[in-house]
Amino acid sequence: MGVRKATTPSAPVRGLVGRAGTTSLFDLHRWQPTGVAAQFVEHYWSVSWDLRDPYESTVITFPAVHLTNEWGTDGSRHGHTLPAVLLHGVVERVFRTTIRGTGTVVGARFHPGGFTARYGRDAGSLKGRVERAEELLPDAPRDVENCLAALESAIGSDASLDDTYVRLRKLVELIRDDDRLHRVEQVMEHSPWSARTTQRVFRRYVGVPVKWVLCRYRLQQAALEIESQPGVDHADLAARLGWYDQAHFINDFRTMLGSTPGEYAASYGS
């Protein structure tokens, strides 16, 4: 199998709400892809659980499409009968799912734009949707190791890059990594295309507009810092990450997660 050694996050994880308090509830592992698949896939991941009581998991979603292979005793997930190979489009708010019984999910998280670059489908048409996708992973194995190998093989076979995706990926990574970028106009200064073309590329390849991507990465960073840095000053955090004032930050945070930053810190802070 080509994928690289797994990591097992137990500390706060960007995008995953309250990971530090859930290590006894479910096992989470990540693997790095290799070869051709690595051009499209950010990482592979698996979650497995054996629960007496149901648990609602919350993820502050990334601007990414996921391809998952899912099985377990719970019978159905996301409206689909198990076992199932599923395609998850970008979720605009947060992704909440209740896990129960015993179960496993093995998935590939594509780079933003990576799914469209690999398979040619408009990511915007998948936004907020979960579809069956057995044709993308035929005869999907029901064990983690063989499933990872099957994903690596299927995604890496007969794949070629297009120039639009290569340039898009550089721009999205800049948005993700440079927290000095606060406004769409700043992003456009770094774009290789006109503002109109940039928005069109984002909607087709990523599935959401530039503003959404910019705001989502900043909100993820804010939640991560609140979880991992006890006593972080929320007003300073809001200003540093580009909010006009703390009131706007609180409103955006509450809209996404249903709680204020202070309430979030009380629930999930270190």
Q: pLDDT for 226-242, tens place per residue? A: 988 888 999 999 999 98
Do 119 and 171 lie in one domain? The reply is: no
Query: What confidence category does residue 2 fall into, taking pLDDT thresholds of 50, 70 and 90?
Result: low
Domain endpoint, select from 156, 178, 198: 156
Q: pLDDT for 42-101, tens place per residue? A: 999 999 999 989 988 888 889 999 999 999 999 999 999 999 999 999 998 888 888 899
Q: Contact, 155 vs 108, CB < 8 A?
A: yes
Percent of the chain with pLDDT over 70: 93
Do 149 and 37 lie in one domain? The reply is: yes
Query: What confidence category does residue 213 fall into, taking pLDDT thresholds of 50, 70 and 90?
Result: very high
- Smallest Cα–Cα separation from 69: which of 51, 87, 49, 90? 87
Q: Which uninterrupted H or E stretch holds 222? A: helix 210-228
Q: Would residue 6 count as lying in a domain?
A: no
The structural domain count of the chain equals: 2
Q: pLDDT for 23-53, tens place per residue? A: 667 788 999 999 999 999 999 999 999 998 9
Average pLDDT of the segment spanning 178-201? 95
- Smallest Cα–Cα separation from 41: which of 107, 104, 105, 106? 107
Do 113 and 168 lie in one domain? The reply is: no
Domain endpoint, select from 156, 189, 220: 156
Query: Residue 54, class by beta-carbon neighbours within 10 Å (0-12 exposed, 13-18 middle, 19+ buried)?
Result: exposed
CA separation for the pair 136, 196 (Å, rounded): 32
Q: Find the domain containing 77 and state its range.
A: 19-156
The pLDDT of residue 58 is: 85
Do 183 and 144 lie in one domain? The reply is: no
Instruction: Find the Cα–Cα–Cα–Cα dihedral 263, 267, 269, 270, rounded to 10°.
Output: 150
Residue 8: CB partners within 8 Å, gap ≥ 6?
A: 27, 28, 29, 30
The helix, strand and coil proportions of the chain, stated in percent and rounded to the nearest 5, come to 40, 20, 35
Q: How many CA atoms lie within 13 A of 192 on its CB side?
A: 12
